[in-house]
Amino acid sequence: MNCKGVIRELSNYIDGELEPAIKEELERHLQHCEDCTMILDQTKKSIEILCDSEPIPLPPDLHERLHSALRERMGKKSD
Amino acid sequence: MSAADPHRLPSSVAREDEHLLVAAAKNGNDASFEELVNRYERKILRLTRNITGNQEDAEDAMQDAFMKAYAHLDGFQGDSRFYTWLVRIAANEALMRLRRRRPGQFSLDQPLEGDKDLMPRELEDWRPSPEREYAQAEIQQILGHAVEKLEPEYRIVLALRDVEELSTQETAEALGISVSAVKSRLLRARLKLRDKLSRHFRRGGLN
């Protein structure tokens, strides 16, 4: 497997979705290719940073708007 | 939300009670539905913001998603997590608005052409630990800008797959596209995100 082949399978590799034979081939390439190893590590790190991202704070009026719309709808249901 | 709000359950209540809240809401207990909204409103806003890339559309999509979830609660069969079901509704609302604002500008299911653009451009070492060198708020800002600059089709799969942590299959179902269309976009999305973050996190990069 060459560098292009590794990059093409990078995402599947990270998600653990590769066939054992292809995974083995990819890992053999990683053992001697610093660039691909670096790209793999940085891509994993990017996903980690993304996973850790905090939900954005809700603008104060939005919470109120949402809940009053819901309560209005809930009120209609019980009419 | 004030601590005195009667709909707010104490934070010590375990997340595992989701199915109890859903069952109560389905039985007509509106306070339980409001608790589910309290619990997920920030996450759903993050999702709709990530998809639409526009605050106004994100807020409208979030509100409509909860209204629809309430109206169709009887249709929730419980074969997935309530949150996953909610994410699908919210993603749909957000996509509708994005398509209205950018008609014909992106496609989630067209085959992607070749892999010429696949090879990463930025090939430099990163600083050992960006999280230790940057304050959390700075990281969030850098990440926010990087995600915003991605093309919508990449932003969308990244939001569902890597932020909301849906499976590839669930992402495909939520977007009404094939698993292979999700995978090809996810690969590009992740590589592009890495490329954009590299400009900040490489040794001697932007500050």
- Contact between A58 and B168 using a beta-carbon 8 Å cutoff: no
Q: Measured between CA atoms, how close is A41 to chain B, in angstroms?
A: 10
pLDDT (average), residues A40-53? 92
Q: Which helix (H) or strand (E) holds A38?
A: helix A34-51
Residue B202, strand partner residues: B126
Query: Who wins on pLDDT, A40 or B207?
Result: A40
Task: Identify all chain A residues contacting B46, using CB atoms and an 8 Å cutoff.
Answer: 53, 55-56
pLDDT at B14 over 50: no
Out of A26-30, B11-15, B82-86, which region has the weakest mean confidence (pLDDT)? B11-15
pLDDT for the residue numbered B89: 96
Out of A31-40, A66-75, B116-125, B145-154, which region has the weakest mean confidence (pLDDT)? B116-125
Reported confidence tier of residue B39, pLDDT bands at 50, 70, 90: very high
Put simply, whether A76 touches B (Cβ < 8 Å) is no
For the entire predicted model, the pTM comes to: 0.85
What are the C-alpha distances in Å from B141 to residues A10, B136, B157? 26, 9, 20
Residues above pLDDT 90, as percent of chain B: 57
Average pLDDT value over all residues in chain B? 85
pLDDT digits (tens, 9 = 90+) for B47-65: 999 999 889 999 999 999 9
Torsion (CA) A29, A31, A32, A34 in degrees, nearest 10: 100
Question: What ipTM score was computed for the predicted complex, to two decimals?
Answer: 0.90
In this complex, the residue of B46, B62, B190 whose CB is nearest that of residue A43 is B190
Put simply, whether B60 touches A (Cβ < 8 Å) is no
Reported confidence tier of residue B6, pLDDT bands at 50, 70, 90: very low
pLDDT at B12 over 70: no
pLDDT (average), residues A24-38? 95
Average pLDDT value over all residues in chain A? 91
In this complex, the residue of A35, A63, A73 whose CB is nearest that of residue B67 is A73
Q: Measured between CA atoms, how close is B144 to chain A, in angstroms?
A: 9
Reported confidence tier of residue B18, pLDDT bands at 50, 70, 90: confident
pLDDT at B11 over 60: no
Q: Measured between CA atoms, how close is B17 to chain A, in angstroms?
A: 21
- Contact between B1 and A63 using a beta-carbon 8 Å cutoff: yes
- The 10 Å CB-count burial string (b at 16+, else e) for A26-40 is beebbeebeebebbb
pLDDT at B5 over 50: no
pLDDT for the residue numbered B13: 44
Query: Who wins on pLDDT, B92 or B102?
Result: B92
Pairs from B16-23 (Cβ < 8 Å, separation ≥ 24): B18/B81, B18/B82, B18/B83, B19/B78, B19/B82, B21/B82, B22/B73, B22/B76, B22/B78, B22/B82
pLDDT digits (tens, 9 = 90+) for A57-77: 888 899 999 999 999 988 876
Out of A8-12, A36-40, A54-58, which region has the weakest mean confidence (pLDDT)? A54-58
pLDDT digits (tens, 9 = 90+) for B155-205: 999 999 999 989 999 999 999 999 999 999 999 999 999 999 998 888 766
Task: Identify all chain A residues contacting B183, using CB atoms and an 8 Å cutoff.
Answer: 11-12
Describe the crossing of helices B82-101 and B18-26 by its angle, rounded to 10 degrees: 80
pLDDT at B43 over 50: yes
